[in-house]
Amino acid sequence: MKFDKILATSQSRTKALTEDTVIEESRIVKDNAEIPLTEIEFYSDNNVAQPFNIDEDELNRLTESIKSMGQLTPATVRELDSGKYELLSGHKRYIALQRLGYKTILCRVCDFNDKEALRMRL
């Protein structure tokens, strides 16, 4: 983080946060939506789940953090034609919440086409 962001006024910090937003606000359909875990699907291509590595120690730390403080960061999903949601980011959060017995996950629902969703997953 640059020192000018640390020492900035609250007005300029707010402006900086807006400029640093990764997902354009116009693409967010619903923010902080509680979606049942059963309504979330992992990305698959020809029924082969997207391969990604999850470090077990990192997952355990996240699970303990969620256990003590709750889910602080929403996952990012997009709605599918089936009415379910495709998980674009937040796979570790999903698994940690599942392990803790949560029934829902806090999500940011975004309007992404297939190409944009692929970019988001990468």
pLDDT band at 96 (very low <50, low <70, confident <90, very high): very high
pLDDT band at 58 (very low <50, low <70, confident <90, very high): very high
pLDDT digits (tens, 9 = 90+) for 66-81: 999 999 999 999 999 9
Work out the angle at residue 50's Cα, subtended by the Cα atoms of residues 56 and 81, and round it to the nearest 5 degrees.
Answer: 125
Which CATH number is 24-121's, of 1.10.3860.10, 3.40.190.10, 2.170.130.30, 3.90.1530.10? Answer: 3.90.1530.10
Domain assignments of the chain as residue spans, ordered by start: 24-121
- Residue 114 and residue 62: Cα distance in Å, rounded? 29
Specify whether the CB–CB gap between 122 and 89 falls below 8 A.
Answer: no
Model pLDDT, residue 23: 77
